[in-house]
Structure 1
Amino acid sequence: MFLPAESERAELVEVIRLGGSDDGLLVAIWEADRARSALDLIASVPHEEIKRCFVPGWTIRAHGAAGPLFEIEFCFRCDGAKLSGPVVAEDQRTIHGFDARSAQAQELLSRFRSEEPA
């Protein structure tokens, strides 16, 4: 799956559960090796054609030493991931397709779900 080149500068990743009328619930902060591992996993998710719903349930926000880098909203129903943020080129600020049924995407979803409050 596509990540901006500056993803290498990420030192911290926030995991946000979306839903309801709010801006989402911060459920985890992944730092150092854990952040890098998650971004490497995201980068390894295979491409897939996007379906139509795009109702994201999860977001990550990657931060570097100087502040926010990029954000990815994931919809595991339509295989869409929307990329945005200050280091993302204008032509890449769009919804990218990913294979939500792949082993990598399912591992990512499992990591997200493991952070949800009980």
Structure 2
Amino acid sequence: MRTGVGYDEAVEMMLADDIQHQIFHRDSLCKMLGTMMYRQKLDETPWAKYVSVSYYLMADVLLQSWLEKGVVPSDWPERHNLTEDLPEILDNSSSEDEDNPKDPDFDDPVPESVGSGPSSSRYG
């Protein structure tokens, strides 16, 4: 993504009730705010309440310019829980399952007494 974060992290950030506007470029933020103002979606976006007044003033000027030119802002999608769109991941492992030493991907834990002290060394 353009902000330097992955999709999952971006979804988590946007669903949070926290400051998020700092990750957007000023022009993109003003366009977004102008569209949200036109579509009356500000109250549905938790992070919008943290945006400073100066951005809202710029967005209002932009929105007025759009309306004077007859430009209708794009639709603003309804807010929904994006985690519902993620595929369901089945967790087949549990702590109750026994780990089989004959299993090809068996990970034998190293006993604490082996190689854990400062006097132990791999090379002699």
TM norm structure 2? 0.24
User: If each structure's strand is expressed as a fraction of its own residues, which one has the higher value?
Assistant: 1
User: If each structure's helix is expressed as a fraction of its own residues, which one has the higher value?
Assistant: 2
The answer to which structure, 1 or 2, has the higher relative contact order (CA under 8 A, 6+ apart) is 1
